[in-house]
Amino acid sequence: MGYDTSDGRSEGQNQPQGEHQNTAPEEHGASKNDQPGTSSNVPHALEELPWNLQLINGSHPLPSDFVPPELVDIPGGSHTIDSRVYDHLMAMLDAADKAGTPPAVCSAYRTYDYQRQLFESRVERCKREKGLEGEGAENEAAFWVARPGTSEHQAGLAVDLIDQNYTELDKAQESTPTQKWLMEHCAEYGFILRYPTSKSAITGIGYEPWHYRFVGVKFASAITNSGLCFEEWLERYLAGS
Ligand SMILES: [Zn+2]
């Protein structure tokens, strides 16, 4: 059994029984009721996708009043995350810790209003530093900070993790021991690196070698092995190919 999806073409045939992998975080205490994507029907439209595969991007925003059904505190800071993701995140953080590369959580759930503040301050920075105005400044800002409503952080399904010894949110983050470990192992815990550098034209977001999105163990492996970004993979998945 297993997710034999290394060629990236067989995800559409993934059936729920593939969910229980030897490396799945259930071993670490995740509730089986929270195991995502266990519907017996493969969905054919974005609206039919389970919560863990919900697409959130510039074309598919969340309502401004959307809040995750239940948020829980991540220990050691002021961040919260969707309760269905919590055990998976903690298992990943524990494993990274044991590997000697403990990540720092620098962002997790964000409210719509907080995302709006982040976006507006980025717009101001674009105006100041690049001499842009109006829509030009907003479009430039949106490549680096998601517009309010379009951030996976508002869904409580994403977390920004950084190396404790290198805390800059820039490209060099990818070369830190922590990011190397996370990129190699995040799929085992149900996470994908959501904005790979080669896919910016499709995701609409600049390279973020710190932003990890929860999709569930089965799908994370399938998506990672496919070499596709989430948008591309979903398109194929929904087409059943
Ligand atoms: Zn992020």
- Domain boundaries of the chain, sorted by first residue: 21-34+41-110+153-238, 112-150
**Catalytic residue selected from 19, 208, 232, 235:** 208
Integer-rounded Cα Rg, in Å, for the chain is: 17
State in Å: Cα 66 to ligand 1 middle. Answer: 18
pLDDT category, 36, cuts 50, 70, 90?
A: low
Three-class DSSP category at 73:
strand
State in Å: Cα 6 to ligand 1 middle. Answer: 27
User: What is the model's pLDDT at position 42?
Assistant: 79
State in Å: Cα 151 to ligand 1 middle. Answer: 8
State in Å: Cα 159 to ligand 1 middle. Answer: 6
Q: Considering the entire predicted model, what is its pTM?
A: 0.82
State in Å: Cα 110 to ligand 1 middle. Answer: 10
User: What is the model's pLDDT at position 77?
Assistant: 86
21-34+41-110+153-238 folds as Muramoyl-pentapeptide Carboxypeptidase; domain 2 (3.30.1380)
Whether residue 212 contacts residue 157, with contact meaning beta carbons closer than 8 Å, is answered with no
User: In the chain, count of helices (H) and strands (E)?
Assistant: 7, 6
Mean pLDDT (the chain) is 87
Q: How many Å apart are CA 49 and CA 53, to the nearest integer?
A: 6
CB neighbour class for 27 (10 Å; exposed up to 12, middle 13-18, buried from 19): exposed
Q: Is the pLDDT of residue 33 over 50?
A: no
- The whole-number average pLDDT for the span 40-68 is 93
User: What is the model's pLDDT at position 18?
Assistant: 36
Q: Is 208 a catalytic residue?
A: yes
State in Å: Cα 40 to ligand 1 middle. Answer: 31
pLDDT category, 40, cuts 50, 70, 90?
A: low
Whether residue 215 contacts residue 190, with contact meaning beta carbons closer than 8 Å, is answered with yes
Query: Mind listing the pLDDT tens digit for each residue in 92-138?
Result: 999 999 999 999 999 999 999 999 999 999 999 999 999 999 999 99
